[in-house]
Amino acid sequence: MKCVLVNQSTVQGGSRAFFPVISHKDIDKYPNTKMTIVVTELAQDPIYCLLFWERLVRFMDNTKPLPDIPEYEGYRHLDPITAEFDKHNNRPEVYWRDMSFKQQTEIYDELYKEACEIDWYNDEPQPEITKPWQRWTPEPERKETLNWKYKAKRLFIQLTCGLP
Protein backbone atom coordinates (compact mmCIF):
# COMPACT_ATOMS: atom_id res chain seq x y z
CA MET A 1 0.00 0.00 0.00
CA LYS A 2 1.03 3.59 -0.47
CA CYS A 3 -0.36 6.93 0.60
CA VAL A 4 -0.28 10.18 -1.32
CA LEU A 5 -1.50 13.49 0.06
CA VAL A 6 -3.64 15.55 -2.29
CA ASN A 7 -4.72 19.13 -1.77
CA GLN A 8 -8.00 19.82 -3.49
CA SER A 9 -11.09 21.98 -3.24
CA THR A 10 -13.92 20.76 -1.04
CA VAL A 11 -17.49 20.51 -2.27
CA GLN A 12 -18.84 22.82 0.41
CA GLY A 13 -17.52 26.36 0.13
CA GLY A 14 -14.67 25.54 -2.21
CA SER A 15 -11.96 25.79 0.44
CA ARG A 16 -8.73 23.83 0.03
CA ALA A 17 -8.14 20.71 2.11
CA PHE A 18 -5.69 17.81 2.34
CA PHE A 19 -6.85 14.23 1.84
CA PRO A 20 -4.82 11.01 2.02
CA VAL A 21 -5.31 8.82 -1.03
CA ILE A 22 -4.49 5.19 -0.26
CA SER A 23 -3.87 2.67 -3.01
CA HIS A 24 -1.94 -0.44 -3.96
CA LYS A 25 1.72 0.23 -4.80
CA ASP A 26 1.06 -1.03 -8.32
CA ILE A 27 -2.02 1.09 -9.11
CA ASP A 28 -1.88 0.18 -12.82
CA LYS A 29 -2.31 -3.51 -12.00
CA TYR A 30 -4.90 -2.92 -9.22
CA PRO A 31 -6.82 0.24 -10.21
CA ASN A 32 -9.80 -0.47 -7.93
CA THR A 33 -7.74 -0.21 -4.73
CA LYS A 34 -7.63 3.60 -4.73
CA MET A 35 -9.61 5.37 -2.01
CA THR A 36 -9.70 8.92 -0.72
CA ILE A 37 -10.08 9.31 3.04
CA VAL A 38 -11.68 12.25 4.83
CA VAL A 39 -9.61 12.48 8.00
CA THR A 40 -10.93 15.56 9.78
CA GLU A 41 -12.76 18.78 9.28
CA LEU A 42 -9.51 20.62 10.03
CA ALA A 43 -7.98 19.37 6.81
CA GLN A 44 -6.11 22.58 5.91
CA ASP A 45 -3.21 21.14 7.91
CA PRO A 46 -1.65 18.00 6.36
CA ILE A 47 -0.42 16.74 9.77
CA TYR A 48 -3.78 15.05 10.43
CA CYS A 49 -3.45 13.05 7.21
CA LEU A 50 0.11 12.06 8.07
CA LEU A 51 -0.91 10.98 11.57
CA PHE A 52 -3.81 8.97 10.11
CA TRP A 53 -1.45 7.15 7.75
CA GLU A 54 1.05 6.49 10.56
CA ARG A 55 -1.71 5.05 12.75
CA LEU A 56 -3.00 2.86 9.93
CA VAL A 57 0.47 1.51 9.13
CA ARG A 58 1.14 0.72 12.79
CA PHE A 59 -2.24 -0.99 13.13
CA MET A 60 -1.70 -3.12 10.02
CA ASP A 61 1.82 -4.26 10.97
CA ASN A 62 1.09 -7.66 12.49
CA THR A 63 4.72 -8.16 13.54
CA LYS A 64 4.43 -5.50 16.25
CA PRO A 65 1.99 -4.89 19.10
CA LEU A 66 -1.00 -2.64 18.55
CA PRO A 67 -0.35 1.06 19.10
CA ASP A 68 -0.87 1.86 22.77
CA ILE A 69 -3.77 4.31 22.46
CA PRO A 70 -7.06 4.56 24.37
CA GLU A 71 -9.14 3.20 21.46
CA TYR A 72 -7.35 -0.15 21.47
CA GLU A 73 -6.93 -0.68 25.22
CA GLY A 74 -10.00 -2.88 25.60
CA TYR A 75 -8.87 -5.16 22.76
CA ARG A 76 -5.14 -5.53 23.41
CA HIS A 77 -5.60 -8.93 25.03
CA LEU A 78 -7.20 -10.30 21.82
CA ASP A 79 -4.05 -9.83 19.73
CA PRO A 80 -1.45 -12.51 20.63
CA ILE A 81 1.59 -10.33 19.86
CA THR A 82 0.19 -7.40 21.82
CA ALA A 83 -0.85 -9.61 24.75
CA GLU A 84 2.64 -11.13 24.92
CA PHE A 85 4.27 -7.70 24.71
CA ASP A 86 2.03 -6.36 27.48
CA LYS A 87 2.76 -9.36 29.71
CA HIS A 88 6.52 -9.22 29.10
CA ASN A 89 6.69 -5.46 29.78
CA ASN A 90 4.28 -5.38 32.75
CA ARG A 91 1.87 -3.02 31.03
CA PRO A 92 -0.96 -1.96 33.36
CA GLU A 93 -4.20 -3.58 32.26
CA VAL A 94 -6.25 -0.38 32.50
CA TYR A 95 -3.62 2.28 31.85
CA TRP A 96 -5.69 4.71 29.75
CA ARG A 97 -8.94 4.06 31.62
CA ASP A 98 -7.25 5.20 34.84
CA MET A 99 -6.76 8.67 33.32
CA SER A 100 -9.24 11.47 33.08
CA PHE A 101 -10.36 12.53 29.64
CA LYS A 102 -8.66 15.88 30.29
CA GLN A 103 -5.31 14.17 30.99
CA GLN A 104 -5.65 12.09 27.82
CA THR A 105 -6.34 15.29 25.88
CA GLU A 106 -3.23 16.92 27.35
CA ILE A 107 -1.14 13.92 26.24
CA TYR A 108 -2.68 14.11 22.76
CA ASP A 109 -1.83 17.83 22.55
CA GLU A 110 1.76 17.13 23.62
CA LEU A 111 2.12 14.38 21.00
CA TYR A 112 0.55 16.61 18.35
CA LYS A 113 3.15 19.31 19.02
CA GLU A 114 5.93 16.71 18.73
CA ALA A 115 4.43 15.42 15.47
CA CYS A 116 4.45 18.93 14.01
CA GLU A 117 8.22 19.10 14.54
CA ILE A 118 8.93 15.84 12.68
CA ASP A 119 10.35 15.96 9.15
CA TRP A 120 7.75 13.62 7.64
CA TYR A 121 9.50 13.53 4.27
CA ASN A 122 12.71 12.15 5.72
CA ASP A 123 13.07 8.39 5.26
CA GLU A 124 14.44 7.93 8.78
CA PRO A 125 11.84 6.19 10.96
CA GLN A 126 10.88 7.93 14.17
CA PRO A 127 11.12 6.08 17.48
CA GLU A 128 7.79 4.60 18.50
CA ILE A 129 6.25 5.16 21.90
CA THR A 130 5.73 1.57 22.96
CA LYS A 131 5.63 2.05 26.74
CA PRO A 132 3.61 5.19 27.45
CA TRP A 133 3.19 4.16 31.11
CA GLN A 134 6.90 4.96 31.54
CA ARG A 135 6.39 8.47 30.17
CA TRP A 136 3.01 9.51 31.65
CA THR A 137 1.57 8.51 34.99
CA PRO A 138 -2.22 8.33 35.33
CA GLU A 139 -3.68 10.78 37.81
CA PRO A 140 -6.91 9.05 38.90
CA GLU A 141 -7.72 11.92 41.26
CA ARG A 142 -8.36 14.11 38.18
CA LYS A 143 -10.94 11.68 36.88
CA GLU A 144 -14.47 12.99 37.24
CA THR A 145 -16.96 10.67 38.86
CA LEU A 146 -19.85 9.49 36.73
CA ASN A 147 -22.59 11.02 38.84
CA TRP A 148 -25.69 12.70 37.40
CA LYS A 149 -24.05 16.16 37.45
CA TYR A 150 -21.11 14.95 35.37
CA LYS A 151 -23.39 13.15 32.91
CA ALA A 152 -25.66 16.18 32.54
CA LYS A 153 -22.66 18.48 32.01
CA ARG A 154 -21.10 16.19 29.38
CA LEU A 155 -24.42 15.76 27.59
CA PHE A 156 -24.96 19.53 27.54
CA ILE A 157 -21.45 20.12 26.13
CA GLN A 158 -21.90 17.40 23.50
CA LEU A 159 -25.28 18.67 22.36
CA THR A 160 -24.42 22.38 22.30
CA CYS A 161 -20.79 22.34 21.16
CA GLY A 162 -20.47 19.02 19.36
CA LEU A 163 -17.51 17.97 21.53
CA PRO A 164 -16.95 14.31 22.51
Residue 157: predicted pLDDT: 87
Confidence band (pLDDT; 50, 70, 90) for 5? confident
Amino acid sitting at position 61 = D
Distance CA(84)–CA(76), nearest Å, equals: 10
Quote the pLDDT of residue 63.
92
What average pLDDT does the segment 45-69 reach? Answer: 87
pLDDT attached to residue 73: 92
* Cβ atoms < 10 Å from Cβ of 151: 11
Whole-number pLDDT of residue 151: 83
Q: Are 23 and 34 in contact (CB under 8 A)?
A: yes
**Predicted pLDDT of residue 77:** 94
Which range scores top for mean pLDDT: 4-13, 35-44, 63-72, 155-164? 63-72
